[in-house]
Amino acid sequence: MMYSSRRKPVLYFTKEDSRSALLLRMLPRRCSVLKLFCTLTILGFFSVMWLHFNCAANSRQSSIADLSSHQSCQEEKEEDPTIWGPHKIAIVVPFRERFEELLSFVPYMHEFLNKKKIRHKILVINQVDHLRFNRASLINVGFLESGNDTDYLAMHDVDLLPQNEELDYGYPEKGPFHVASPELHPLYHYKTYVGGILLLTKQHFELCDGMSNRFWGWGREDDEFYRRMRAAGLQLFRPTGITTGYETFRHIHDPAWRKRDQKRVSGQKQEQFKVDTEGGLKNLKYKIGSRAELTIGGAHCTIISILLECDLNETPWCVIN
């Protein structure tokens, strides 16, 4: 600080004095050293917190990116034909109000087929109309809705689980392959039985024009389909070398809890033993009520809710008065 030659003193500041004065003007008049310390401490705390949350957010984004990359690599691995094979099966499950069985079936079959390195998707064809249950028509729907990414299908009961890992679920190139053969199925043992689990290529199924739509209620649609396969010139194959007998499958249906619809009405008993030469894929009539993607126990499935249509003049037994 310096004085001029004039009467009134004039103050002159150096650069250091100017900076100090500027800082003092920015602070409150009554600012004390303690208040200044507290202010700086609070500012420092919030700065540290901001850095913490910013780093945490970046870490989460990095983890998500790593997970997405892992899932992408897993999908690529599953699509690798050298590991999983070139074919993909559609597991077609005709279904109505069997949710207890479905909760067991989907994760079980997903794990079973993954162990065998078989690419697959599970299609649950859920009948939601007020007509009697029609397993054959639902399988026809499953075939038509299975998509172009599958080249063969399994007509698969929801209450039948394979327990022997030696069972073949591979592509049935030579002809239809009856997995649940009479020698292995826990309930049905007659020679022409082809129910439970039957594998066919899509070409085989088309040669048969699918299954007959005339079978409302439980039973006999498989027997008619056996005759269709014979008429189409297809040779039926069955498992060999399986030594587990009737323990090969686990049947999870409880007949005391859920009774089968075995009624025969309006001439149905006579009709069920005839071959339906006119019906099949070409006269199937249905509407899709909804389509839902569902994960059960970590396993994915598609549930397609279906409303079938019935011609009362052709099959009056589709309803029970």
Q: How many CA atoms lie within 13 Å of 293's alpha carbon, on the beta-carbon side?
A: 3
Q: How many CB atoms lie within 10 A of CB 80?
A: 12
**Whole-number pLDDT of residue 142:** 98
Q: Which residues contact 191 (CB under 8 A, 6 or more apart)?
A: 182
List 153's β-bridge partners, or say none.
Answer: 90, 200
- C-beta separation of 104 from 158 below 8 A: no
Mean pLDDT over each residue of the chain, to the nearest integer: 82
Angle at 230 between CA 227 and CA 236, to 5 degrees: 110
Q: How far apart are CA 12 and CA 6, in angstroms?
A: 14
Rounded to a whole number of angstroms, the distance between the first and last alpha carbons of the chain is 114
Residue 106's pLDDT band, with cuts at 50, 70 and 90, is very high
Residue 70's pLDDT band, with cuts at 50, 70 and 90, is very low
Residue 183's pLDDT band, with cuts at 50, 70 and 90, is very high
Domains by residue range for the chain, with CATH = 89-308 (3.90.550.10)
Residues 241-269, mean pLDDT to the nearest whole number? 77
Is the model's pLDDT at 218 over the cut of 60? yes
Regarding pTM above 0.85, the answer is no
Q: How far apart are CA 126 and CA 131, in angstroms?
A: 13
Mean pLDDT is lowest, of 11-15, 134-138, 207-211, for 11-15
**Whole-number pLDDT of residue 277:** 82
More confident residue, 208 or 62: 208
- C-beta separation of 174 from 237 below 8 A: yes
Angle at 149 between CA 143 and CA 152, to 5 degrees: 50
State percent of the chain over pLDDT 90. 57
Residues 223-232, mean pLDDT to the nearest whole number? 94
